[in-house]
Amino acid sequence: MNSIIYVVDDDKFFSELMKKKLNKKGYSQVYIANSGCEFVEELNTKPDLIFLDYDLGDLTGIDVLLKIRKYSPNTQVIMISAQEKNKIIQEAMDLGVNSYITKGQPNMNIQIEKALDDYKSMN
Report helix, strand or coil for 84.
Answer: coil
pLDDT for position 72 = 87
Helix and strand element counts for the chain (H, E): 5, 5
Residue 110: how many CB atoms within 10 A of its CB? 11
- pLDDT (tens digit per residue) in 55-75: 998 999 999 999 999 988 889
pLDDT at 85 > cutoff 80? yes
To the nearest 10 degrees (0 to 180), the angle between helices 61-71 and 86-94 is 0
pLDDT of residue 86: 85
CB 16 within 8 A of CB 34: no
- Condensed to tens digits (0 to 9), the pLDDT of residues 2-61 reads 899 999 999 999 999 999 999 999 999 999 999 999 999 988 888 999 999 999 989 999
The predicted structure's pLDDT at residue 6? 97
Question: What structural domains and CATH numbers belong to the chain?
Answer: 4-118 (3.40.50.2300)
Question: Can you tell me the mean pLDDT for 66-87?
Answer: 90
**What mean pLDDT, rounded, does the chain reach?**
92
